[in-house]
Amino acid sequence: MRIIGGEYRGRRLSPPADKTIRPTTDRMRETIFNILSHQAPALRGAHVLDAFAGTGALGLEALSRGAAHVSFFDRDRRALQLVKKNIALLKVEAKTTIKCVTAPNFPPATRPCDIIFLDPPYPLDLIPQTIEALECKNHLAENCLIIAEYQRNKEITFPKFLEVIQQKTYGDARFSFLRKTA
């Protein structure tokens, strides 16, 4: 695992010790960030939430590409220790917040997020209620962009306040790029 682009390009990240964490592959992260580079809001200066953080690779990639701040949420304390380790490897502690959170029970937002990554464990089927909870707790900024990863064969009904702007499928994974509408 490594950072694909930006300031920390090529820097290695610590991988998970076992299969309980399913990190987004380097190739999929590259595709996600290529698509993000053509979407508003801009990544540069953005406030990002990496929910279901796992290794933290998506949020750290966002920091490398100019995000101002990333919050990492996960319920697994071992995952959060891995996120802390990867944050320390890049020396970006000042630009990050880490919280032990069980979705969809989120704390109220201190600041709305411009971009949100949702990559829950596939069997949990948490994406719609997670988005609703994040909206209820004011985590979604106006024009917020959400990137949701889920099993390819899973049909998801997204909340009505979101517009699907693009979808990509890789192997067993599908990515939906969603924008909050007025």
Q: What is the pLDDT of residue 16?
A: 84
Lowest-pLDDT choice from 94-98, 138-142, 152-156: 152-156
Share of the chain above pLDDT 90, in %: 74
Q: For residues 164 and 150, what is the distance between their CA atoms, to the nearest angstrom?
A: 14
Nearest to 97 by CA among 63, 143, 131: 63
Q: For residues 43 and 35, what is the distance between their CA atoms, to the nearest angstrom?
A: 11
Name the pLDDT band for 147 (thresholds 50, 70, 90).
very high
Q: For residues 154 and 156, what is the distance between their CA atoms, to the nearest angstrom?
A: 6
26-180 under CATH 3.40.50.720, yes or no: no
Provide the token pair at 55. Answer: 């290794």
Nearest to 147 by CA among 174, 121, 125: 174
State pLDDT tens for residues 78-99. Answer: 999 999 999 999 999 999 999 9
In the chain, the amino acid numbered 101 is V
pTM of the entire predicted model: 0.94
Higher pLDDT, 27 or 39: 27
Nearest to 99 by CA among 113, 32, 13, 91: 113
Q: What's the average model confidence in pLDDT over 125-154?
A: 94
Residues linked to residue 116 through DSSP beta bridges, in sequence order: 49, 146
CA angle 103, 107, 113 (to 5 degrees): 90
